[in-house]
Amino acid sequence: MSIDEYNGCAIVAMVGKDCVALATDTRFGVQRSTITTDFQRVFQMGPRLFVAMSGLVTDAYTVSARLKYRLNLYELRENRPVSPSVFVSMVSNLLYERRFGPYFSTPVIAGLDPTSGKPFIAGFDCIGDPSIGSDFITDGTAGEQLMGMCETFWRPDLNK
Amino acid sequence: MDFCIGIRGNDFVLLCEDMNAAQSIMLHKQDHEKMLDLNDHLLMTRTGNLGDGVQCAEFLQKNIQLYQIRNGYEMRSSAAAHYIRKYLADTLRSREPLEVNLLLGAYDVISNTPQLYYMDYLGSMATAPFCAHGYGAMFATSILDMYYHPGISVDEAIGILNKCIKELKKRLIINFSKFNVKVVDKDGIHKLPTISVEDGIHTH
């Protein structure tokens, strides 16, 4: 069993008309055993910025905590909420620092730009390569299955 | 080859562990207590490597007590849980990872809520109303799914615990002769009578 499948998850982020949606499963499991069914994988990083962490639970928490630390320092220095595109660079940098011993967790970002309100979603691989999406991003052990569903049902300008 | 279980009620957390100290095929002791009081309202039980378990538990206990000495007040349960999680996550990618799975039972005296944390050796952490570690966990979790309800009392929790132990006696190949049981509530940590499995399940 691969390390990405040790805990398992399903994450999907979608762009709509002046809105974004981010969904995750709430299962915390260890291989085939389920420990809890109310586990949070989504972390709020700003008033309109959320990040969902897929993969290994320990790394998901470590990365989100380190990210929040860097984000807090940014907002103290800049005195304004971070914009999603800058946040993407922040995430990418944090993950690439561990290029030869990576975190087994990949973030999916969903948010609105603080100034323009434009919807924004992005996905990464475990070493920080960003893919900024215009329609939807899927991740996790059920990533391919979700991709199929999104391709079938998504169309532009869906309302909430 | 160890087993530990935690059950959370409205105002308490019950933790139970087996009392075997074994390495490979050799059973050294059958009355070995692994549970450790980290502070007045924080109880930790563990499964996994015996040596790693002792090192980890004592290190954490001393550091949590140092916090209390330095600051003059007890470390809050969620702060302690996150501290322990970070310790496990840091050792994971270091010289040698600690092969210890933990259950942390805590009573937060400020918010007056009991908390049960499940932590595995990788540093994954989750709060749960009930959870267990070890091979016995597969049996115990099913029984708890059936009989647990929110607002359970200590006596009901012990009843469910006895059901789990009976199931382990019947279906698990590993022989556990004694179980150590402790409860954390607002008044601190209390040791309950040891549950013995020889000749039926009874306490003494």
| Residue in B119, B47, B18, B46 with CA at minimum distance from that of residue B77 | B119
Instruction: Say what the ipTM of the complex is.
Output: 0.92
* A29, A35 Cβ separation under 8 angstroms: yes
Q: What is the pLDDT of residues A48-60, one digit of tens each?
A: 999 999 999 999 9
| Residue in B180, B125, B116 with CA at minimum distance from that of residue B152 | B116
Would you say residue B126 has pLDDT above 80? yes
| Residue in B195, B88, B98, B132 with CA at minimum distance from that of residue A30 | B132
Per-residue pLDDT at B198 = 78
> Per-residue pLDDT averaged across B33-47, rounded?
96
Q: Which residues from B are below 8 Å from A35, CB to CB?
A: 118, 126, 128, 131
* Chain A nearest C-alpha distance from B124 (Å): 4
Would you say residue A16 has pLDDT above 80? yes
CB spacing of A28 vs B126 below 8 angstroms: yes
CB spacing of A28 vs B124 below 8 angstroms: yes
pTM of the model: 0.94
| Whole-angstrom distance, CA of residue A78 vs CA of residue B56 | 41
CB spacing of A35 vs B122 below 8 angstroms: no
> If pLDDT is split at 50, 70 and 90, which confidence band does B200 have?
low
Would you say residue B113 has pLDDT above 70? yes
> If pLDDT is split at 50, 70 and 90, which confidence band does B96 have?
confident
List, in sequence order, every residue forming a beta bridge with B127; answer none if it has no partner.
Answer: B117
The CA distances from residue B111 to A27, B11, B77, B108, in Å, are 27, 11, 10, 6
Q: Which residues from A are below 8 Å from B125, CB to CB?
A: 57-58, 61
* B156 contact partners, CB below 8 Å, separation of at least 6: none
Per-residue pLDDT at A52 = 98
Q: What is the pLDDT of residues B45-87, one digit of tens each?
A: 999 999 999 999 999 999 999 999 999 999 999 999 999 999 9
Mean per-residue pLDDT over chain A, rounded = 96
CB spacing of A33 vs B137 below 8 angstroms: yes
